[in-house]
């Protein structure tokens, strides 16, 4: 007899296979890097060995998928299946396996790593295996899967933050991988998580799925339902967050140069006119202090190690005694 646990293990490896087989290439909009995208689901049922023979005239497996592209438009695909197993020596002894569910995915333009991009989605699945009698002589398993997969090409390294949550009596997972390695999250019955990884240039694959396995034999019947959400945020290395604070008119933090790790800072004419002093720090360490004749419009290169994230802050003391700050954070360059 094939163990239901063994079947669940085999199903968990199907995720990676979806990234390389059974998908149709789609044309991407101008400037996008998406090579293919598939959203939908599949089901599979089988009779375990060792008991009375139970056969079925209905499909024991199938899938139904739609294509998606990185144009920001959500794509949704629903699917359902019913498979009936009948005991060959007792026609009233039947086991019915049903699955249903929906998956949705949406993605902004993936421009090869030159700009931020986000891929989001959700999915739900239900599965049941029920007998027409109080006790069945059949031993039948089934599973339903819903999710999304895709592949795109990056021309420069990017930070990928993978996050998601799941709930119900099933399992979910989210993965991203490049040509050398990958990372992901396994979601349990009530699970959520987040992880960040540096993705290298080349082909990149993303996968998200929720699935539920059911089994019926003797008086045992099962019914399960599971839902999940996922998000993949792609950010160029060294990318900056939005500045915060009221001193942006006096000191402006620009882009980070990943060749050196340095952050550009501009001391404005307004600072020369209204400020008494300006103190600038990078990751808590003082890198510049300007006051008196040194307080004039200029551009500074603030040193910061490229292999680490950076946060720069300017503290401005005005001539009227008031104080203001501005802060900006940057992703690591490697």
pLDDT tens digits, 291-324: 998 999 999 999 988 889 999 999 999 999 999 9
| Choices 3.40.50.10190, 3.40.430.10, 2.60.40.10, 1.20.1440.230: CATH for 244-330 | 2.60.40.10
- Specify the pLDDT at position 17: 31
Residue 217, pLDDT score: 94
Instruction: Report domain extents, the chain.
Output: 4-236, 244-330
Task: Give the pLDDT confidence of 71-106 residue by residue, as tens digits.
Answer: 999 999 999 999 999 999 999 999 999 999 999 999
Share of the chain above pLDDT 70, in %: 89
pLDDT of residue 178: 92
Number of Cβ within a 10 Å radius of residue 252: 18
Q: What percent of the chain has pLDDT over 90?
A: 78
Residue 182: which residues within 8 A CB-CB, separation 6 or more?
175, 176, 197, 205
Rounded mean pLDDT, 40-62: 86
Predicted local confidence at residue 86, as pLDDT: 94
> CA-CA distance, 112 to 157, in Å (whole number)?
9
């Amino acid at each position: 007899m094939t163990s239901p646990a063994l079947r669940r293990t085999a199903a968990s490896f199907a995720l990676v296979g979806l990234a390389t087989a059974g998908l149709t290439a789609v044309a991407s909009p101008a400037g996008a890097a998406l090579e293919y995208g598939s959203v939908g689901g599949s089901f599979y049922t089988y009779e375990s060995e060792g008991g009375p023979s139970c056969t079925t005239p209905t499909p024991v497996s199938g899938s139904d998928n739609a294509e998606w592209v990185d144009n920001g438009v959500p794509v949704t695909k629903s699917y359902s299946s019913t498979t009936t197993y009948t005991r060959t020596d007792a026609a009233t002894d039947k086991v019915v396996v049903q699955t249903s569910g929906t998956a949705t995915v949406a993605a902004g333009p993936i421009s090869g790593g030159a700009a931020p991009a986000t891929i989001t989605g959700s999915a739900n699945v239900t599965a049941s295996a029920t007998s027409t009698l109080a006790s069945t002589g059949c031993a039948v398993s089934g599973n339903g899967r819903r999710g999304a997969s895709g592949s795109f090409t990056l021309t420069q390294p990017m930070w990928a933050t993978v996050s998601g949550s799941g709930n119900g009596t099933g399992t979910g997972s989210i993965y991203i991988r490049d040509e050398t390695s990958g990372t992901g999250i396994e979601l349990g019955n009530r699970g959520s998580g987040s992880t960040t990884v540096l993705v290298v240039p080349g082909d990149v694959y993303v996968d998200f799925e929720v699935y539920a396995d059911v089994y019926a034999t003797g008086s045992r019947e099962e019914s399960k339902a599971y839902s999940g959400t996922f998000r993949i945020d792609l950010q160029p290395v060294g990318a900056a967050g939005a500045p915060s604070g009221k001193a942006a008119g006096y000191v402006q933090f620009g882009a980070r140069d990943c060749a050196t790790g340095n952050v550009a800072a501009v001391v404005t004419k307004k600072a020369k006119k209204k400020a008494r002093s300006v103190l600038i720090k990078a990751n808590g360490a003082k890198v510049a202090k300007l006051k008196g004749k040194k307080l004039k419009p200029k551009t500074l290169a603030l040193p910061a190690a490229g292999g680490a994230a950076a946060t720069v802050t300017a503290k401005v003391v005005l001539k009227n005694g008031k104080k203001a700050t501005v802060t900006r954070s940057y992703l690591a360059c490697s």
